[in-house]
Structure 1
Amino acid sequence: MQLDMESREEQPSQAQSQAQSHSSVQSNVRTKTDIAWEHVTQVVDEKGKKAWICNFCQKVIGGGGINRVKKHLAGIKGEVVACSKVSPEVRFTMQGKLKETAQKEKEKRTTSVTILDDDEEMEEIEMSTVKKGKRKSTSNLHPFFTKGINDPSQPTIKSAMQSKAKIHDVDLAIAMWFYDACIPMNACNSPFFQLMVDKIASIGYGYKAPNYHALRVNLLTDAKKSVSLIIDSLRSQWVDTGCTIMSDGWRDVSQRHLINFLVYCPKGISFLKSVDASDIESNATNLCNLFAEIVEMVGEKNVVQMVTDNAANYKLADILLLLGLHVQRIVLILYLSELDNVKSLVNLASRVTIFVYNHKWPLNWLRKRPGWKEIIRPGATRFGTVFISLQSLYDHKEDLQAMVISNEFKKMLKVGNAVECKQIVLNEIFWKNCLITVKVMTPLLKLLRLCDSDEKPAIGYVYEGMRRARRGIKELFKKKKELYRPYTNIIDSCWDRIIYCAAYWLNPVFQYDHANLCKKNEVFQGVLEMVEKTFKGDDVLNITLNLGRFRDAEGTFGRSSAVASRNLTRPDEWWKLFGGDIPVLQKFAIRILSQTASSSGCERNWSVFERIHTKRRNRLEHQRLNDLVFVHYNLRLQNRLKVDMRSYDPVDYENIDKTGFWVVEEEREGELNYDDLENMLDEQEHEPASESQGDHVDHEVDSEFQLLSDREIDAYNTPISQDP
């Protein structure tokens, strides 16, 4: 009996020791597997206590466990000295781990509070049920049916309606805040809007929103740090793939010359800064210093090229030549829209659209026509909108002519510019010039849309697209130099061919298409020039000697998988997969083929940047306002690809800016009601590229050119009389 008692007493103690041992093992396993331990070395100090030495800065971290190690690596000051030599990737990872830990602890606290509140609520309901709902059962039915609608323990229609009323009250409170603060309605489309609401709901009743000072100082600083971590994650890609600095020079309403700088790599676009260059635009030395500062911020070895769409006020190419950068000046559509005949045609077309969209009767009459689509449909850029609108206007030629010759239109002749509109619509020369301009511009717009891709680097397809567009324009005008040269000269002047030649030659889509490969000497010369600009010494010789192996598909370049994926894989990705036999050549090809071919990332509403460079009504200090714009624009860039940009909101002020020339009269600005517009983008306008980018260029560019008749060619450039 005594033995039984002793054995029973021993069992709990054994169970306890086993539990403690199991807990210790779990702790040790967790400790050993934590990612932070990879970056420190465990030692024992003079007192016999454990300490850790950072593998980056060699500083000793004593006590506190893994949490202090993570804070040291994450650069969070306070409890421990921040590491000054940790890599951006490790710092970003550690900060993410600390945030996860803090979030889990917060969720545990929130869950415990919620459970406590629910228990108290249940006790109140049970007490109420005992006092008021106590009665005998009168049948064998399930209690749910016997309690009736008046039983307080059953949710009633009244209580359900009350919950809907509460939701409506919350919705109304949010709406009232929008209205009171004059916040645009489309702000609710921000990916952070619902996230904000969820965070507020998760923390529970009693949460107090941050005040003006917190938003202005502390939280803005924290937000900038978070966004900077995103930029750091992109910065690590710049070393491998190289990057493109995109600059957008423009003038605000005060005629100040502002320049915005962004950086492109295949993983994303990031905004660097905005600069007021009004005082230095005429001084080449100061401009050179400005661009040198930007290059230094990005890293000279990381920069492959600079792309700009506005260099009219200074010789940017000469300045950047001093920095050893390759420069691209993508202003094709701007130059084309400034041709005299195109400019005159666009002005006449805009008079028609302004008349239609500023008078109710013409717009209503046209909308009743079968198969009607809105004339004005915005493109990706305001210059693209010009030619898209010309195409749309030409498509509505019959509808517009039917309107102006109808009996009802006679009543409109005394209104506004009705007579002028009628004369333009009935002028056949106007329509023929519209047709020719559209035929010339359509393939060029498609080429630019190919170049404007943010998701896929398009630089490897630009040379072939230019080549086909140039040849097609010549055929369009039946090789009459006086007609096609204004267009081909612009194509030649807008693109520097060196980097495009190199990208074309290194693109497996075209290199192994022997029947159509351009064999001009300038193509291979472009490759050699880019090699000499990018590398020095033995690397230049190594690359030059191995270019033939790529051309002849030797080694891994000739593997069956490499051959099969030439037209299915992005060129830069193809080189990553199959260029490993020649690492230096692989690096060169990836850096060239990973670049963008345009500055489309700059095509945004820049009005927010005007506030940075003005002193009027500036409540934030200059640096804080810069931080605000830095956070705002980078968040928008990161979320750009997640949002379906094909849907067009007629009350979206950024898109209205692109179409204003076509729908707003200067002397009557603001009278147009945009709520009635159904400006949907043409599906073909935003059609994704085919799986084979090479086929995309071949078919989309060439198929658009249809030869003009001799009569149409003779009529082209004829001055347009407004007499019908």
Structure 2
Amino acid sequence: MASKGKALVLSSCSTSGNSHELNNQEGPLWKHVKKLDLPTTGKRGGGNRPWVCNFCGTQYIGTYYRVKGHLLKTEGTGISACKKVDADMLKVLQKLQDDFESKKKNATLSTILSFSNDEPNKKRKGDSGTQGQSKTTSREDLDRKIGRLFFSASLPFNLARNPYWKDLVTSLANSNLQGYVPPSSEKLRTTILKEERNYVDKLLEYKKFSWEENGVSIVCDGWIDNQRHPLINFFAVSIKGPIFLKVVDASGEYKNPTYMKNLFAEIVKEVGPNKVVQLITDNDMVYRTAGLSLEDEFPHIYWTPCVAHTLKLVVKTICSPPSKEQNPKANELCAWIGDLEKDAQLIINFVLNHHDALSLYNRYSNVKMLKIGETRFTSMILMITHIKLVRDSLVQMVADADWSFYRSDDEEKSQTIKKCVLDDLWWDKVDYFLEFTGPIWEMLKLIDVDEPMLHRVYEMWDNMVEKIQGIIFRHEKKDHLVDSSNFFDYIQSILVDAWKKSNTPLHCAAHSLIPMYYGKKWLSSRAGRVPPHQDSEISKHRSAYLSRVYSDTEHFHQVQEEFARFVTGVGLVGGIEAIKARDEVEPITWWVLHGASVPLLQRLALRLLAQPVTLSSRERNWSKHSQIQTIRKNKLSTSRAEDLVYVRHNLRLITKGDEKCREGASKFWDMDVEEFDIEGEPELNALNMNVDESTLPSFTHMDYNGENGGKNEEIEEVAF
């Protein structure tokens, strides 16, 4: 009955082509037996027929199933094994049967897909029609089959942007492979995964090659996954780009500074202590303590807090004014910011939580109302920016006659929203808030990139404070040379306090090695500017850094002397071309071209001017790290799980450096946009602008509560 059932299934699918030719009557092992005539009387069961084995000469009655069992010596088939088939012949026969099964599988699948694609009016072979129409139909069939894969497996539509997907399809289309069978799930997670890891390692060799000359920064960040496991990921970031190193499950230990310090030391030793310039983490107190302890073991390596994280904490402090009991003066100055946040949050929540309100909003707006994750970092800036973007739509919404419906449903909230939206003074507050926080946001976007920024932070921070001062004094109609501003003094105190906690000798040393800061063009561009060697704070920190990196007296004096020659322009570093190039070329290029006469300082400059200052662009990879949960569900071995995470992250990082993958059809390919119901390019562009703080899936971030003296007691939800 089972054989008959199989025959019926194949028959129903064999509407055309190869499946009929590849049925069991054409099995390759029939050639190694002699078929006898069917009996003319009595029972003639479905596929049963008499046959004689060509090897042993024994006669049997049965189907091809028994032929296989006899010749291939398969147990449990109800027939004895052929004793005349030796090991070598058994391999030959098995190979014939395996090839046959593979072709039959492909033919059956092909006819099933062709049958499901079949249309009543579709032209068939031999029908009239042009060659162009045939090609078009073929492409449409392939498109539908691709769609069927996406639909049946619930694959995200954004996968179609993936450059590796396009490479696969193009390779298959241009391939001459006949009878190709995709790898099994077992082969994918074993052989191919291991081969891909080796391939990725080879691709990353060119990045690692630069570590010796240009140095490398170890970037570390911790998250709590959906299963409440504290995970810590490590990246090595150099001038050639980031490399994902590993992820560590720190369950039970992530609040232990000693454990973290030993973990940091282990990573440093794996990379190579002499190649590492700095360790970057966020401002978590456990990280701070562990990082400073690491400096005791490796004096030339500095722990530096992520500058982007520091700026976000600045915004958090500004947008969360203290209570009257804590600081009455600060509360009075910044209470309007808290009120503005509450109003904006009310508008967004009301629209999103009321179906009729959302329908009314959508009537006047093509921009979707985005719910910003409550990260307590830069979420307020994003929220207020979005509110301003849809201002006209909000005004039309509350002015619509249908808005009166909410007087009975939620009168107080609807009236508050209408009052805010129609109040020009409220919008003036929106503009002022975005204006004076603008320099912070601009600096955050500038430094939050996979590019060297260590040498630019000092100057950028000064410029940011100066811009904020100008905006506040202009708003208050005051002259900063003769007047004072209590509001600016409060904002400045927050910025200065954050800088003191973030500034290290490493920042000052890198700042001192920028040739432009010693040129006339830069010095004369603004009153009061002095070269770095004349700034007491910078000079103090630079000397402290040099004394740690060059612990032996001879090298310390040599590098100090070379720095003096660089500053005063003595020798080749003071040549006509070198002086001219100070204002014209990038710092690292200048040192490559003109620094040979000061070799120690040149080597130092090539290392310091190649380092990043943030880990936020690495944080975005945690939106992909929800796969850890899937890994656990699939019960992959630890080594396979590590290989999968390693390959996944590094393939994404490799393509990030490819211009073709950042523009065109592959743009946004590595963003999990399916969570947002986002369909068009404008929404994707808006999301990309806010990628670290928007409504992407949340994980719990092990954050540091600065107001509690740095105790790691606060668990803060962070959505990128």
TM range (shorter): 0.5 to 0.7
Letter of the 2:510 counterpart? A
Aligned to 2:685: 681
Q: Secondary structure at the residue paired with 1:157?
A: coil
Q: Secondary structure at the residue paired with 1:208?
A: coil
> Does the aligned pair in 2 maintain the 1:376–1:679 contact within 8 Å?
no
Letter of the 1:524 counterpart? S
What is the distance in 1 between the residues matched to 2:163 and 2:358? 36
- Larger mean Cα displacement after TM superposition, 250-259 or 542-551: 250-259
- How far did 1:504 drift? 1.6
Query: Structure 1 residue aligned with 2:385, among 384, 388, 391?
Result: 391
Aligned to 1:473: 468
Distance 1:367 1:576, change over 3 A: farther
- Describe how 1:485-496 pairs up with structure 2 within 5 A: 485-496=492-503
Letter of the 1:191 counterpart? P
Aligned to 2:157: 185
- How far did 1:648 drift? 11
- How far did 1:280 drift? 1.3
Deviations 1:615-654 (A, max 9, x none): 8413311110110010010000010132226999899863
- Larger mean Cα displacement after TM superposition, 186-195 or 346-355: 346-355
Distance 1:435 1:684, change over 3 A: farther
List runs of 5+ in structure 1 lacking aligned partners. Answer: 1-151, 661-672, 687-724
Distance 1:592 1:414, change over 3 A: farther
- How far did 1:552 drift? 2.0
> Does the aligned pair in 2 maintain the 1:572–1:593 contact within 8 Å?
yes
Aligned to 2:344: 349
- Describe how 1:535-554 pairs up with structure 2 within 5 A: 535-537=550-552, 538-554=554-570
> Does the aligned pair in 2 maintain the 1:227–1:634 contact within 8 Å?
yes
Q: Secondary structure at the residue paired with 1:453?
A: coil
Q: Secondary structure at the residue paired with 2:452?
A: coil
- How far did 1:421 drift? 3.0
Deviations 1:394-444 (A, max 9, x none): 355465345324433213445576445335435677545433331232111
> Does the aligned pair in 2 maintain the 1:377–1:385 contact within 8 Å?
no
> Does the aligned pair in 2 maintain the 1:498–1:529 contact within 8 Å?
yes
Aligned to 2:535: 520
> Does the aligned pair in 2 maintain the 1:378–1:655 contact within 8 Å?
no
Aligned to 1:338: 316
Give the aligned CA root-mean-square deviation in angstroms.
Answer: 3.6
What is the distance in 2 between the residues matched to 1:491 and 1:303? 25
What is the distance in 1 between the residues matched to 2:286 and 2:603? 36
Query: Structure 2 residue aligned with 1:319, among 293, 301, 304?
Result: 293
What is the distance in 2 between the residues matched to 1:193 and 1:649? 14
Distance 1:419 1:316, change over 3 A: farther
> Does the aligned pair in 1 maintain the 2:279–2:291 contact within 8 Å?
no
TM-score by length of 1: 0.64
- Describe how 1:249-268 pairs up with structure 2 within 5 A: 249-268=222-241
- Describe how 1:415-430 pairs up with structure 2 within 5 A: 418-425=414-421
What is the distance in 1 between the residues matched to 2:377 and 2:621? 14
Aligned to 2:49: none
Distance 1:332 1:285, change over 3 A: closer
Distance 1:563 1:343, change over 3 A: farther
Letter of the 1:681 counterpart? N
- How far did 1:193 drift? 1.4
Aligned to 1:453: 449
Aligned to 2:327: none
Q: Secondary structure at the residue paired with 2:155?
A: coil
What is the distance in 1 between the residues matched to 2:664 and 2:134? 39
Distance 1:406 1:162, change over 3 A: closer
Aligned to 2:187: 214
> Does the aligned pair in 2 maintain the 1:557–1:563 contact within 8 Å?
yes
Distance 1:641 1:651, change over 3 A: closer
1:559 aligned onto 2:575: yes
Letter of the 1:290 counterpart? L
Q: Secondary structure at the residue paired with 2:585?
A: coil
What is the distance in 2 between the residues matched to 1:243 and 1:624? 27
What is the distance in 1 between the residues matched to 2:494 and 2:664? 30
Distance 1:545 1:255, change over 3 A: same
- Would you say how many aligned residue pairs link Structure 1 and Structure 2? 517
- How far did 1:307 drift? 1.4
- How far did 1:238 drift? 0.6
Aligned to 1:531: 546
Deviations 1:469-493 (A, max 9, x none): 1233344444426532453245324
Deviations 1:254-294 (A, max 9, x none): 43322111111111110001112232123222111111111
Distance 1:650 1:297, change over 3 A: closer
1:204 aligned onto 2:177: yes
- How far did 1:511 drift? 2.7
Aligned to 2:672: 654
What is the distance in 2 between the residues matched to 1:394 and 1:573? 42
> Does the aligned pair in 2 maintain the 1:247–1:599 contact within 8 Å?
yes
Distance 1:614 1:407, change over 3 A: closer
Distance 1:655 1:388, change over 3 A: farther
Q: Secondary structure at the residue paired with 2:303?
A: strand
Letter of the 1:190 counterpart? N
> Does the aligned pair in 2 maintain the 1:505–1:511 contact within 8 Å?
no
Q: Secondary structure at the residue paired with 1:603?
A: helix
What is the distance in 1 between the residues matched to 2:390 and 2:143? 43
What is the distance in 2 between the residues matched to 1:676 and 1:584? 53
- Larger mean Cα displacement after TM superposition, 306-315 or 457-466: 306-315
Distance 1:656 1:545, change over 3 A: farther
What is the distance in 1 between the residues matched to 2:130 and 2:165? 31
- Identity, % of aligned positions: 25
Aligned to 1:598: 614
Deviations 1:590-620 (A, max 9, x none): 1111101211331314154355478841331
> Does the aligned pair in 1 maintain the 2:562–2:600 contact within 8 Å?
no
- Describe how 1:226-375 pairs up with structure 2 within 5 A: 226-314=199-287, 315-324=289-298, 325-330=301-306, 331-339=309-317, 340-341=320-321, 345-357=340-352
Distance 1:166 1:428, change over 3 A: closer
Letter of the 1:188 counterpart? A
What is the distance in 2 between the residues matched to 1:650 and 1:368? 28
List runs of 5+ in structure 2 lacking aligned partners. Answer: 1-124, 322-336, 474-484, 691-720
- How far did 1:522 drift? 1.1
Deviations 1:293-331 (A, max 9, x none): 111111111110111235255534433333433122122
Q: Secondary structure at the residue paired with 2:237?
A: strand
Aligned to 2:116: none
Aligned to 1:641: 657
Aligned to 2:81: none
